[in-house]
Structure 1
Amino acid sequence: MSSQAIQQTRSIAQQPATKKARSFTYEASLNIKEVLSFYAKRITDIVLASMMLVAFAPIMLVVAILIKLDSPGAALFIQKRVGTKRTLRRGLLTCEEQVFGCYKFRTMKQNADSAIHQAHIKAFISGELEGSNDDKAKFKLNRDPRITRLGHILRKTSLDELPQLFNVIKGEMSLVGPRPVPTYEVAEYDLWHRERLAALPGITGLWQVEGRSQVTFEDMVRMDIRYIRNQSLVYDIKLLFLTFFAVLASKGAK
């Protein structure tokens, strides 16, 4: 991200924390180095995501079959998430919020009530979660009754997120970036929270590596913003490697 874009997102982040915003959008002029970095990230995403789809195709097929055998319903789940539409023309980068269908393997029972998670997210963002300190630092529900037996395993191993590789190839997501958030979560955001929407959402990111599900909401947002302000191809590759080891260790996964 260019210095101009950083200054613009910082100015938004410094506005009153209680003020809500409906959308996040900005424009920034990129220099040659930043333009090359923009295209390098996109090309890397396409190449690596395509290779990973080929490599994981047998596993994805097995997972889809197991989901169908484990519980009624489709193997694939599509949820509306808020991301960023990035357009680069003649060195001018335009970013604006967009809603897209995020692909995941289904880990919940068919027709699970989303109101449970919406209430949890609202309390998580406001810091009003009840329970122990550990429970208060979890954006995912502890002992969620909606999750299937197989769903617990898929979430723990992050196999449920493999279909998001298709989102990466479509340009709706990146391999590395801020977490793609549900539309109802963004509705609870203060202005400075929206800076995390200034980049393509990723399958993995800084907070997934450093904390996974064990961080507070504001720490999660700060980690996403820190990634956006320091993003580079080398940084992305480093986070991809760290993600691999974090998943193997089941670090903070639920």
Structure 2
Amino acid sequence: MRDETVRHALRSSSRYAHGFTARLRGEGTVARRAWRGAYVRSIFAGDIASALTAAMTGYVVRFGPAGAPEARVSLWVALVLPLVWVAAMLVARTYEQRFLWLGAEEFRRVFFAAALLLAAVGTVSWAFKLEVARGFVILAVPVATLLTLAQRYVRRRSLHRQRAHGRFQQTTLLVGHRAGVQALHEQVDREAYHGYRVVGCAIPGGRDAAAEFDGLPVLGDLDEVIDIVRGFEVDTVAVLPSPELDGAALRRLGWKLEDTRAELLLAPAVSEVAGPRVSIRPVAGLPLLHMERPELRGARRFTKEAFDRTSAALGLLFLAPVLLGITLAVTMTSDGPVFFRQERVGRDGRKFPMLKFRSMVAGADRMVDDLADESDGNGVLFKKKDDPRVTSVGKILRRYSLDELPQLINVVRGEMSLVGPRPPLQTEVERYGYDMHRRFLVKPGLTGLWQVSGRSDLSWDDSVRIDVRYVENWSLMFDFMILWKTAGAVLRGSGAY
């Protein structure tokens, strides 16, 4: 009877009135997940092809196309390498679906498998006194690693593009209070490539509270989750913190979901803290979530500053011809200084003069009040897509973020980092809430999560969330990932105006 009530609620929703309900019932969890097996098989075949290519390359480079009499043992090693390579990938569990599609864990495990294989080959050849050409192994294994990472990355990017267009998705039910459901729904919509398609929500009061909330049908109360999952074969249940679903209730929900094909996701209250800072430890006989302090001082901070300043100095040296060309272009096309200096707020609230190539007419900063009513920004930052103050050369500089290059000087001077939160104006800081002051624990960056997440297209709430996320989860590997993604963001030019 309850299942029939849930179905009736879905049919009455405007979102499902256009045939979505029938399609949801007709697909089923098994059908929606059928692509996963094919995806794993494709990367398995890609790994074999990568190892075979690396083996042949290593053999030819080491011994030449015709080989050599002493290379017969190495030839057998080259032919066996693809099988050994795949075995190492299996040992490192790189084919488990929970490590695929999202996050860096898949790539870390590939690196671990490569290191494991190198160690195993060295140990076995030493123990049994096998004649294995070290030059061949040292070349073939790294090449196999790079090819494997490349083919997995290409397949992942292809999957993300298809997910963004509505393919290979899994239905998701959001469970919790209104504020949490709305925030998570917005986040899931922003990250469509993750493949979660929200089909409805369960909130306190259920359908008595509302037929629809935040554009989603309200499918029931918090105690009707199992009926909803069974009635429509929901793939994923995302549960937000709520007093109604305490430890015992949540445990019982997990037990009931074991009889279905649905996965259970729990959204922590500290949603912007992740990665190595969070671990589960037994305390007084209970598995408690332990949150480490962010590592913003000591050796890691020294390493970051040394890397930033050295890289910035080398960047200035390498880019000297480009900087000179931009200097001439700015000088010859408009009146005014080459550089634009603006006071920004850095770490610990200290002010510093940030440098940029001038991309606007001289005195553009004094025209903001006249254009304030036409802002395309997020309510706090002034931005205008067709800003009349921008010069012809400035449009090109801003399109590819070339106007930001002089900030390498700020990095060398220790006022900025290569990666960090966006450097704010004092007028912005005066409007900050408590959370945003967290960003002053680190230096502002030449690039950052804001640069690779939409730049000027971000809302103010998104900007706050992104800056706090960076500070809470900083690591050198995180910086490398952002630097890698910055190149693509700059070439696309999304949000740059």
Once the two structures are TM-superposed, the CA of residue 156 in structure 1 deviates from its matched residue by 0.6
**Structure-2 residue corresponding to 1:112:** 364
- Matched to 2:327, the amino acid is A
Check conservation: 1:121, 1:139, Cα contact below 8 A.
Answer: no
Aligned length: 206
The answer on 1:41 being equivalent to 2:304 is yes
Once the two structures are TM-superposed, the CA of residue 191 in structure 1 deviates from its matched residue by 2.4
SS of the equivalent of 2:455 reads coil
**Structure-2 residue corresponding to 1:147:** 390
Q: Which of 475, 478, 485 does residue 235 from structure 1 map onto? A: 478
Once the two structures are TM-superposed, the CA of residue 244 in structure 1 deviates from its matched residue by 0.9
| Identity, % of aligned positions | 41
Deviation track 1:108-165 (CA, whole Å, cap 9, x = no partner) reads 10112435169479995647xxxxxxxxxx8522211111111111001100000000
- Matched to 1:226, the amino acid is R
Write the distance in 1 (CA, Å) between the matches of 2:312 and 2:478: 17
**Structure-2 residue corresponding to 1:88:** none
Once the two structures are TM-superposed, the CA of residue 210 in structure 1 deviates from its matched residue by 1.6
Write the distance in 1 (CA, Å) between the matches of 2:324 and 2:485: 26
Question: Who wins on radius of gyration, i.e. which is larger?
Answer: 2
Once the two structures are TM-superposed, the CA of residue 193 in structure 1 deviates from its matched residue by 2.1
- Matched to 1:177, the amino acid is G
Higher strand share: 1
**Structure-2 residue corresponding to 1:211:** 454
Write the distance in 1 (CA, Å) between the matches of 2:374 and 2:436: 14
Write the distance in 2 (CA, Å) between the matches of 1:124 and 1:158: 18
Return closer, same or farther for 1:120/1:64 CA change in 2, 3 Å cut-off.
farther
Q: Choose between structure 1 and 2 for higher RCO, CA contacts under 8 A separated by at least 6 residues.
A: 1
- Matched to 1:80, the amino acid is E
Check conservation: 2:344, 2:424, Cα contact below 8 A.
Answer: yes
- Matched to 1:166, the amino acid is I
Return closer, same or farther for 1:239/1:180 CA change in 2, 3 Å cut-off.
same
Return closer, same or farther for 1:80/1:185 CA change in 2, 3 Å cut-off.
same
**Structure-2 residue corresponding to 1:166:** 409
1:82-231 matched pairs, under 5 angstroms: 82-84=345-347, 96-116=348-368, 119=372, 124=377, 126=379, 140-231=383-474
SS of the equivalent of 1:114 reads helix
Once the two structures are TM-superposed, the CA of residue 186 in structure 1 deviates from its matched residue by 1.4
Once the two structures are TM-superposed, the CA of residue 229 in structure 1 deviates from its matched residue by 0.5
Higher helix share: 2
Check conservation: 1:125, 1:188, Cα contact below 8 A.
Answer: no
Check conservation: 2:294, 2:474, Cα contact below 8 A.
Answer: no
Once the two structures are TM-superposed, the CA of residue 73 in structure 1 deviates from its matched residue by 0.4
Deviation track 1:154-183 (CA, whole Å, cap 9, x = no partner) reads 001100000000000111000000000112
- Matched to 2:357, the amino acid is F
- TM-score normalised by L of structure 1: 0.74
In structure 1, stretches of 5+ residues that fail to align are 1-6, 11-28, 85-95, 128-137
Check conservation: 1:139, 1:216, Cα contact below 8 A.
Answer: no
Check conservation: 1:122, 1:188, Cα contact below 8 A.
Answer: no
In structure 2, stretches of 5+ residues that fail to align are 1-269, 274-292
SS of the equivalent of 2:496 reads coil
- Matched to 1:45, the amino acid is D
Once the two structures are TM-superposed, the CA of residue 214 in structure 1 deviates from its matched residue by 1.3
- Matched to 2:494, the amino acid is K
Deviation track 1:25-54 (CA, whole Å, cap 9, x = no partner) reads xxxx998x9511111101100111111111
Return closer, same or farther for 1:124/1:152 CA change in 2, 3 Å cut-off.
closer
Write the distance in 1 (CA, Å) between the matches of 2:375 and 2:357: 24
